[in-house]
Amino acid sequence: MNSFFIEYRDPLFSIIIFFVIIFMIAFFSYWWNKYRYSEDTKCLTNFLEQFSTLPSESELHILISGGELSEKSWLLLATSYYKNGDYEKSVEIYNELLKVCSYENKLEIMYLLGTTYFKAGFLERSKQIFLEILKTRPRTPEALEYLLLVYEYMRDYNSALEVLEPLDELNKDVTLDRAYLEALALLHEPNYSTAEKSELLLASYKKHHQLTYMIFEYLFRVNPALAWEHFDSSKSELLGDILWRIDAKDLNLDIISKNGYLRELFTARGDVNLAKSSSLFELDLLIKLQNRASATLSFEYICDNCKKTYPFVFNRCASCHSIDTSRVEWSLSKDYYKDIGEENNSFQ
């Protein structure tokens, strides 16, 4: 019977006890770590739930004035809301911070509040914020630039042009901004006829040699003959999407036949047969197809300054606010209009 029991002085007994102790330590360590992880996760979840819905104005005031989080932490939180597009929460935090912040930080927070209002589309509130900043510090170029954007978006072009004066005094190059705003003001002027607008836009183009796309897009839309008369062949690639959409009846074959790029473009479109190939893959493929497939060109627009891509043309980038930096990129796509036309013909 005693053969089944190990005497406590036996070395094997000590080894068994040793491994039992190790097992118990490992067992309790595992469950203790699992418990701590569960508690930490619960605490983090509870903390995040506080910000899943914005507290009321009074609760937010208590949280900010209580000083549990530093002013910098609240600014980081508001910035994260801003980047995620949750402008309402960002605005609430900035407004409460303005009530408790020091004077040194007040203008910075007001600037952030103004940019948030602008991004959210509250242009009147944004304007009031930037005007208030400029009352205290009139030589603040960042506030002036945003105020200019606000006036532009509100189509108050005269006020926007007035903002250029202090920017010019601060040694900012406003030549392009002035030409752009004057062109916008002209395009939205109800008292001028289409012919008068066209002549004034051409005069601006000859003076500044800028805003090529903006001016010729309007000219080709309202007066193609005048656009061809003043057409600069060196700008053909810049205006590729505009030229691709011109009606066949408005083409100037004399100008097209003298320009290699235009010959390739309109041969690919099927209007003429003046090119056998093209160095551009999309045009070359369309030329080779010779209308045997329902293919056309689709366009997207890239800002040369910040490299943002848009499905629509722009004169001022919505991201970096630079002017006249749009570059067209094209790709092959299915021509649905041609398919529809073929289907309609099949029923006749």
Judge whether 304 lies within some domain.
Answer: yes
Tokens of 334: 């299915």
Question: From the CB of residue 87, how many other CB atoms can be counted at a distance below 10 Å?
Answer: 18
pLDDT tens string for the chain (348 positions)? 455 445 556 667 677 777 788 888 888 888 888 888 777 777 666 655 555 555 555 656 566 666 566 778 778 888 888 888 888 888 888 888 888 777 778 899 999 999 999 999 999 999 999 999 999 898 899 999 999 999 999 999 999 999 999 999 999 999 999 999 999 999 999 999 999 999 999 999 998 889 999 999 999 999 999 999 999 988 999 999 999 999 999 999 999 999 999 999 999 998 999 999 988 888 988 888 876 667 888 899 999 999 999 998 999 999 999 999 999 998 888 876 555 444 444 434
Judge whether 132 lies within some domain.
Answer: no
Q: How much is the pLDDT for 338?
A: 58
Amino acid identity, position 148 = L
Q: What is the Cα–Cα distance from 204 to 181, expressed in whole angstroms?
A: 12
Pick the closest to residue 180 from 213, 154, 147, 150 (CA basis).
213
Q: How much is the pLDDT for 56?
A: 58
Q: How much is the pLDDT for 167?
A: 94
Q: What is the Cα–Cα distance from 171 to 344, expressed in whole angstroms?
A: 62
Q: How much is the pLDDT for 182?
A: 95
Judge whether 346 lies within some domain.
Answer: yes
CA distance between the termini of the chain: 107
Q: Render 262-291 in DSSP notation, one character per residue.
A: HHHHHHHHTS----S--SSHHHHHHHHHTT
Give me the number of domains the chain comprises: 1
* Structural domain span for residue 348: 293-348
